[in-house]
Amino acid sequence: MTTTTTSPVLTATGVTMRFGGLTAVQSVDLDVHPGEIVGLIGPNGAGKTTFFNCLTGLYVPTEGSVAYQGTVLPPKPHLVTQAGIARTFQNIRLFANMTVLENVLVGRHTRTREGLWSALLRGPGFKRAEAASKTRAMELLEFTGLADKADHLSRNLPYGEQRKLEIARALASDPGLLLLDEPTAGMNPQETRATEELVFAIRDLGTAVLVIEHDMRFIFNLCDRVAVLVQGQKLVEGTSEVVQSDERVIAAYLGTPFEGAPGAEEAAEVEAAEAGAAPRATGGAAQDEAQRGTTARTEDGQ
Amino acid sequence: MTTDKTQPTAVRKAGATAPRTTLLRALTAAGGAAAVVSTFLAWTWTAEFPGDLTFYGYPGGLQLLTLVLGIATAVFALAALDLKGLRWLTPSGSTQALRLLALGTFAVTWFTVIAIAVDLDGLVNLEPGGWIAAVVTAVPVATTFLLPDDSRPLCRPKELPSWAEILIIAAVFAVGLYVVNYGIQTDADHPEPFLGFLIAVGFAAVALAKAGLIGRISELTSTYRSVTLVAALITAIVFPFFQDKSSFTELGVNIAIFATVALGLNIVVGLAGLLDLGYVAFLGVGAYTAALVSGSTASTIDVKFPFWAAVITGGVVSLIFGVVIGAPTLRLRGDYLAIVTLGFGEIFRLAMLNLDGTSGPSVTNGPDGIPNIPPLEIFGFNFNDDHSVGGLTLDSNGNYYLLMLLVTVLVVLIFSRAGNSRIGRAWVAIREDETAATAMGINGFRVKLIAFALGATLAGVAGAVWAHFQSTVVPEQYVFAGPVPPNSTFLVAAVILGGMGTIGGPLLGATLLYLIPKKLEFLQDYQLLAFGIALILLMRFRPEGIVPNRRQQLEYHETGQLDVPGATGLKDSAVGVTKAEA
Ligand SMILES: Nc1ncnc2c1ncn2[C@@H]1O[C@H](COP(=O)(O)OP(=O)(O)OP(=O)(O)O)[C@@H](O)[C@H]1O
Ligand SMILES: [Mg+2]
């Protein structure tokens, strides 16, 4: 892989998330480079979704920091999206009573500017921007194959199409990185195939993808790199082949009791096996950054 | 007579319609006709019963309702018989509509007959005409319930030239104005005519919806949006010219004000999903502000702003209060806002009571309020004088009505423009799923604050006008719940009853909630109970409100073709409501 030579779109450094006594995510480092499709796998409750929530600002990580294209992100979801990271949800979270088209238009929110005044005055600028938004939204519906359902209520779509709509809605913010949380859950094999194609197409359009999935065939077909999360810690990271043949991964997935915490050295070994691991910020620095992010009052800024 | 009418049916659906069905439909038509005939008889002997039903030869009072519904039953039955030229009446099936019309005729007639017996003490007060009416109106009920259900999806309408469609819209509004006028002008001293009116309108409206006519009309109005808006505006403008009593126009002003405030609240509750239980306080802020700067002799501030400046001041001060209340609470999720606004509403009232110079600084005269707000004068047009427009006089109430209408139009415009834009979609998204909305890049706090502040501002503007109309403001008008509107409960109920997120909903909801207790004085003590019952029934049978919003409407026709929204819910709720009222 030559992708490591470019600077990463996403740099997660020492991300830790504790809920009271439970450490759901523990010092996870992860880089995603432009043009990459990276997989994130792990048993149920491993902390994958929690890690996504930390990346997108839905949770404020207890420790660690998340940077997009080198800039540390404040843990505010709308600013994360504004910066260029979009996501879908494991348990579909569409705007159920809005139409398919409106859902995608909401996704355009960060890429349009029209405020209340221009909506009330309806100048030519407003009309142009609305028309442009609609065109772009229709393009995305075309891209995901939902164009003929634009006027349907999103809650009336079949399950598979709801997942697709989530992707279309996320793409509407023109993200540089797309986070997919189990995009094929509940899909039949054909739909899963189609989703695979869709993810490749998204990558080809220049959006890096980080995807959580339990469907191993899907993951190993798709991903340039796979990271394995077990009990909140990153166990292995590497190409499909490396991960597939790793005994601990097999153990974790077969359900064999996992003995002992995953050794830091072991994880480091695996990573060292890969050419050029991404540079890591020291723990202390990461913490400082995280704190600065939390205290910054960014709500009102646009 | 009945057998003659069976012939035309055979033409189109020879194989489809069983002879039994045809016979039942013909009997229904005959029953309707008989009901019509019965209204030309005297139902009672004395004019003591309101409406004077003592005449042979022409119908009066409540008989008119039986007459109209009887005609409708007969005509729809003929349409069901496939009579040429009437088929357009039942685009989505006739049986359900017929049942409702027959039931409506029956209910109104029996209501009248029973009311005569109760009011005048005894069945002896019924003339034979009353007995005949009671019997013949039962016939269509029996026959229609034996008819098979022929509901079908709304069929494509026949192409009409656009002038004809526009004429239809105009006619619908004219009829609407007539119906509203009829209701408003019923005798306020007797509840019977208005109750009968409610029963009749309720059944007729649901019947028209079942027949598919309301679906057809809403199709037309959405095709000719601007025509519809103009028609609605003209209808609203001519309303005061049709009123022969000033009190009727006053009802109109109050309806316009409360409907406008409810629509403003709908931005907050319906679009952004923020439960504001103290909304009336913003109306109060606007009203008090306008009163203070109006030049009233009782005002503690010795200034006299021109009207427009007073209105803007009212709006701006309300906006400031909105931001001050909203900024700390809108960051929190869930029900905190409801609790804080509830508190704010009460604090506002108590503050107005106590800023009287003894308990606090002297600002509001405490419980006495600020009376003597001088009458409005804009460009020499004094709002308290009568004015003559083209031969018709417009009294003080009429002047204020038209002024208030201007505010209503403004709020409608703001609602529709804001709702149908980037910011409006953001509001709805927040309402639907706040987490997903923020993950889509929406700054939840910011857009919620905009909705909240916009709602507050609009209430402030309406309050400023209201203060001038009332010429006095007192704290007791701005309570959470009370026997007379406006109160926060009234406003929230109007929004929910009418239909959240729609324009028509709160307007209709506020009209009904204001007019019904006004006309049925005996209900006034039980107003809150009635609200509660109405809302429970509504939540059970038609949670989307009387006017479903476009999104909820879509729920009922997934394939994209227009359909009658809320097909099953509508019948149940209307029947339920009527039961509760009867
Ligand atoms: N808000 C929260 N409060 C407390 N505990 C939480 C919270 N969110 C997640 N957890 C816990 O963190 C752990 C990781 O959960 P997470 O949803 O991230 O797992 P996952 O890897 O996505 O699993 P799955 O494959 O089932 O989706 C679980 O034990 C879960 O109970
Ligand atoms: Mg998960």
* Nearest-CA residue for atom 16 of ligand 1: A47
**Rounded-to-integer distance, Cα B519 and Cα B188, Å:** 5
* B437 contacts A106? CB cut-off 8 A: yes
**Rounded-to-integer distance, Cα B54 and Cα B41, Å:** 8
Token look-up 């007639």 returns: B109
Measure the CA angle with vertex B506, ends B505 and B508; round to 5°: 65
pLDDT at site B19:
85
- Is B409 in contact with B233 (CB distance < 8 Å)? yes
Identify which of B417, B424, B442 has the shortest CB distance to residue A78: B442
- Is B203 in contact with B576 (CB distance < 8 Å)? no
Q: For residue A248, give the nearest of A281, A270, A232, A221 by alpha carbon.
A: A270
Contacts of B465 (CB under 8 A, 6+ apart): B257, B290, B311, B400, B403, B404, B407
What is the distance in angstroms between the Cα of A55 and the nearest Cα belonging to chain B?
Answer: 11
> How far is the centre of ligand 2, averaged over its atoms, from the C-alpha of A126 (Å)?
39
**Rounded-to-integer distance, Cα B368 and Cα B292, Å:** 14
Helix (H, G, I), strand (E, B) or coil at B472: coil
**Rounded-to-integer distance, Cα B296 and Cα B301, Å:** 9
Token code pair at residue A76: 């505010």
Q: What is the dihedral of CA B525, B531, B536, B540, to 10 degrees?
A: 130
* Nearest-CA residue for atom 25 of ligand 1: A44
- Bridge partners, residue A209, by sequence: A37, A178
Interface test with B, best of A56, A97, A156, A180 (most B CBs within 10 A): A97
Taking the Cβ of residue B409 and every Cβ of chain A, the question of whether any pair is shorter than 8 Å is answered with no
* A58 contacts B436? CB cut-off 8 A: no
**Rounded-to-integer distance, Cα B547 and Cα B479, Å:** 27
* Nearest-CA residue for atom 6 of ligand 1: A19
Band (pLDDT 50/70/90 cuts) for residue B578 is very low
pLDDT, tens digit (0-9, with 9 covering 90-100), for B337-390: 889 899 999 999 999 989 887 877 888 888 888 888 888 877 777 787 777 777
* A120 contacts B418? CB cut-off 8 A: yes
End-to-end CA distance of chain A: 38
* B422 contacts A93? CB cut-off 8 A: no
Q: Between chain A and chain B, how many beta carbons pairs sit less than 8 Å apart?
A: 124
Of A210-219, A289-298, B216-225, B525-534, give the lowest mean pLDDT range: A289-298
Token code pair at residue B311: 């209105």
Give how far Cα B120 sits from Cα of A21, B112, B228, B427, Å: 78, 12, 46, 56
* Nearest-CA residue for atom 19 of ligand 1: A45
Token code pair at residue B480: 């959470």
Q: Nearest chain A residue to B411 by CA: give it.
A: A120
pLDDT at site A283:
39
Give how far Cα B304 sits from Cα of A216, B282, B361, B374, B486, Å: 77, 22, 21, 10, 27
Taking the Cβ of residue B351 and every Cβ of chain A, the question of whether any pair is shorter than 8 Å is answered with no
pLDDT at site A289:
39
Q: For residue B582, give the nearest of B108, B78, B89 by alpha carbon.
A: B108
**Rounded-to-integer distance, Cα A70 and Cα A66, Å:** 9
**Ligand 1 atom having least distance to the Cα of A42:** 21
- Is A99 in contact with A151 (CB distance < 8 Å)? yes
* Nearest-CA residue for atom 24 of ligand 1: A44
Give how far Cα B164 sits from Cα of B158, B226, B488, Å: 12, 16, 43
In b/e form, how buried is each residue of A166-201, taking b as 16+ CB within 10 angstroms? Answer: bbbbbbbbbbbbbbbbbbbbebeeebbebbbebbee
Of A133-142, B9-18, B177-186, B506-515, give the lowest mean pLDDT range: B9-18
Measure the CA angle with vertex B150, ends B149 and B156; round to 5°: 155
Residues framing ligand 1 (Cβ under 6 A): A 19, 22, 24, 42, 44-50, 90
pLDDT at site A268:
53
pLDDT, tens digit (0-9, with 9 covering 90-100), for B309-332: 999 999 999 999 999 999 988 987
* A87 contacts B554? CB cut-off 8 A: no
Long-range contacts of A110-113 (CB under 8 A, 24+ apart): A110/A78, A110/A81, A110/A82, A110/A173, A110/B440, A110/B441, A111/A172, A111/A173, A111/A174, A112/B422
Q: Give yes or no for residue B527 having a pLDDT over 80.
A: no
- Mutate which of A50, A52, A92, A213 to test ligand 1's pocket (most atoms within 8 Å of Cβ)? A50
What are the backbone angles phi and psi of residue B373, rounded to the nearest 5°? -70, 125
pTM (two decimals): 0.83
Give how far Cα A47 sits from Cα of A22, A51, A229, A234, Å: 11, 6, 7, 10
Band (pLDDT 50/70/90 cuts) for residue B200 is very high
pLDDT at site A47:
93
Q: H/E/C letters for each residue in B243-273?
A: CCCHHHHHHHHHHHHHHHHHHHHHHHHHHCC
pLDDT at site B552:
55
pLDDT at site B102:
94
**Rounded-to-integer distance, Cα B231 and Cα B511, Å:** 19
Q: What element of type H or E holds A198?
A: helix A189-204
**Rounded-to-integer distance, Cα B451 and Cα B448, Å:** 5
pLDDT at site B381:
76
Q: Is the peptide bond before A189 cis (omega within 30 degrees of 0)?
A: no
A21 burial type by CB count under 10 A (0-12 exposed, 13-18 middle, 19+ buried): exposed
Q: Nearest chain B residue to A129 by CA: give it.
A: B422
Token code pair at residue B378: 């804009």
Identify which of B440, B443, B554 has the shortest CB distance to residue A106: B440
Token code pair at residue A156: 């009336």
Total residue length of chain A? 302
**Rounded-to-integer distance, Cα B535 and Cα B175, Å:** 28
Token look-up 């039986």 returns: B66
pLDDT, tens digit (0-9, with 9 covering 90-100), for A45-57: 999 999 999 999 9
* Nearest-CA residue for atom 1 of ligand 1: A19
Helix (H, G, I), strand (E, B) or coil at B110: helix
Helices (H) and strands (E) in chain A, counts: 12, 10
* B424 contacts A77? CB cut-off 8 A: no
Q: Give yes or no for residue B223 having a pLDDT over 80.
A: yes
pLDDT at site B175:
93
**Neighbouring residues of the ion ligand 2, judged by CB less than 5 Å:** A 49, 90
Band (pLDDT 50/70/90 cuts) for residue B517 is confident
Measure the CA angle with vertex B141, ends B135 and B146; round to 5°: 130
- Is B56 in contact with B41 (CB distance < 8 Å)? yes
pLDDT at site B309:
92
Token look-up 């990153």 returns: A234
A-chain CB neighbours of B558 within 8 Å are 152-153, 156
Q: What single-letter amino acid sits at B460?
A: G
Report the pLDDT averaged over residues B129-137: 90
Give how far Cα B258 sits from Cα of B21, B269, B463, Å: 48, 16, 10
Token look-up 């600020």 returns: B370
Ramachandran region of residue B479, left (φ > 0), alpha (ψ -120 to 50) or beta? beta
> Would strands A208-212 and A177-181 be described as parallel, antiparallel, or unpaired?
parallel
Q: Low-confidence residues of chain A, pLDDT below 70?
A: 1-5, 253-302
Report the pLDDT averaged over residues B542-551: 74
Nearest-Å Rg of the Cα atoms of chain B is 26
**Rounded-to-integer distance, Cα A204 and Cα A211, Å:** 16
**Rounded-to-integer distance, Cα B92 and Cα B557, Å:** 14
**Rounded-to-integer distance, Cα A149 and Cα B201, Å:** 38
Measure the CA angle with vertex B493, ends B492 and B498; round to 5°: 105
pLDDT at site B10:
39
Q: Give yes or no for residue B553 having a pLDDT over 60.
A: no
* Share of residues in chain B with pLDDT > 70 (%): 90
* B450 contacts A110? CB cut-off 8 A: no
What are the backbone angles phi and psi of residue A81, rounded to the nearest 5°? -65, -45
Q: Where are the beta strands (DSSP E) in B390-465?
A: 392-394
In b/e form, how buried is each residue of A122-141, taking b as 16+ CB within 10 angstroms? Answer: eeeebeebbeebeebbbebb
Per-window interface: A 96-135 vs B, CB < 8 A: 96-99, 102, 105-110, 112, 114-116, 119-120, 122, 126, 129-130, 133
Helix (H, G, I), strand (E, B) or coil at B394: strand
**Rounded-to-integer distance, Cα B150 and Cα A224, Å:** 60
pLDDT at site A272:
55
Q: For residue A100, give the nearest of A63, A52, A53, A134 by alpha carbon.
A: A134
Q: What single-letter amino acid sits at A173?
A: S
Report the pLDDT averaged over residues B180-195: 85
More confident residue, B14 or B415: B415
